Chains A and B, each alone.
Chain A
């Protein structure tokens, strides 16, 4: 009759094997047979390596020898995933407990083997979800060491996972915040609850390069085998912040725009109203000469008002135009210029010259580029310097391998140095009111250039102004 202990061993729900110091299996229970799919006779008397995958077989004898030198109850293969191998050569993950047993002065090891396939699968699933999360995911243990990161986290912070796992979380905290951070983590771990981090504050992470990354962080505590871990979900909000700033800038621009348009439209209309009363008085006084002059002024005012309205409408059109891209015909453009600006050229006595030296065509939306060039040229004519003997504007084009350049150069009044940063702003005027202008020309120019993917800059002094336009040419 079997002893109660033998019964216990045999019927244990855990697979058990008794092995001697020569690594020979002495006893197995029913569950071990089932787990490894061997008959008892195929196991007893054989080396334990029978149940160990090939890649671990070689080093196993040394491990067993080591264990027998210091036989204490413990888990096998701490921190590693262990596998067993079945008779059909299939592998499965296991957890193995080791217990020394002494009988008649000889020491044996009692191994309990638990199939953790299910748990392992759940873990794998968790890791896969963690990895695939659209946010940066990062898990730390209660000593603040990083234990798990996903690909997105690597991307946000610029570190590979090998450079993160095992290191303190403070590696990703901005310098200013490194010192108090451990205290925050400790207090969180004492009272863990799902919440957002740093509510009401702007949060930053520290990129590998040292740069700060604007982030939003959600915290989620998890309990694993009695230990608390914290999962952080991290969203890089740099993009969002940039768009916020962009919206703010646009709103300010719209406010400025409505303020200025209301002023600039109302002001000449008021003058027209006042002028008509002047004319009425002049007619009563039979001052026909004066009345005629004032009618002329009203006519000028309406012309100017019309131009302003056209410019304002142009601003809305700049956004909308879907013009086809074609090769810009410089010669054709130049041919029409003298006629186009005939009056202004004569009034200001400005000479215009061209030098087109480009070898590659410029593919662009021609109407937009024409508006840009027209505006730069008319400015060069309008703001010419009466004190200079020869007044001129030169238009040049040339290119290198990758870029196309257009320069519009004049020897006019120049832009006042103190205000050169405002040049492309809305409703900016830099010269005497005697020269009419809506203050929108260069603002529109910049908008158009942005739309056709060019860059515009300038240099200006009392000797004159040069505007530089640059386009990237397509790579051949």
Chain B
């Protein structure tokens, strides 16, 4: 079955790259995007209320204005306690570089399933995402 994925990132160009990477992965149905934690959260709530198809993976950036990645992870774990439908949704933290050690730990503590370091290459990103949606 094809999967929906949600990307939350304030970097519009990264989202463009993501869309292109996903467009060639057969197992991805829809790519949803949000520009910050608040938008991401609102989008999830909207899907829950409409009973529309939820993403099975949420990739969330850490550094964002308004509601950052950590705040989103906190908000998400509260939502997951309220909605059974979110039980199998996996939040994944996205880091800009691998030396952000404290961010890794903090993201995992706040409920991220795992973290990835954003690759600079489109091809590597595509491979990475294919692995996630197999």
Contact = CB atoms under 8 A, between A and B. Distances in A.
A271 B97 CA distance: 13
Contacts, number: 79
Given A266-B97, A434-B35, A275 B121 contact: no
B11 A268 contact: yes
Interface stretch (B42-50, B62-70, B80-88, B104-112): B62-70
Interface in A267-310: 267-275, 277-278, 281, 294, 297-298, 300-301
A121 interface: no
A267 B65 contact: no
A273 B16 contact: no
B125 interface: yes
A263 B97 CA distance: 7
Contact of B16 (A266, A267, A297, A433): A297
Interface stretch (A200-208, A367-375, A424-432): A424-432
A3 interface: no
Nearest to A270: B120
Q: Which applies to chain B's interface (DSSP): helix, strand, loop or mixed?
A: loop
A262 interface: yes
Interface residues of B, number: 25
Contact of B63 (A263, A277, A430): A263
Contacts of B100: 259, 263
Given A263-B63, A433-B64, A270 B14 contact: yes
A270 B119 CA distance: 7
B90 to A, nearest CB: 23
A300 B123 CA distance: 23
B29 interface: no
B122 to A, nearest CB: 4
B35 A301 contact: no
B65 A270 contact: no
A274 B97 contact: no
A77 B108 CA distance: 82
Interface residues of A, number: 30
B20 interface: yes
Interface in B30-66: 35-36, 63-66
Central interface residue in B64, B121, B122, by most chain A CB within 10 Å: B122
A429 B67 CA distance: 10
Interface in A96-148: none
B66 A274 contact: no
A63 B48 CA distance: 105
B96 A275 contact: no
Nearest to A282: B20
B96 A273 contact: no
A429 B122 CA distance: 28
A37 B17 CA distance: 110
B65 A433 contact: yes
Contacts of B122: 274, 277-278, 281
Given A271-B14, A294-B16, 14 more contacts: A263-B100, A267-B118, A268-B13, A270-B119, A272-B13, A273-B121, A274-B120, A274-B121, A274-B122, A277-B121, A277-B122, A297-B12, A430-B65, A433-B64
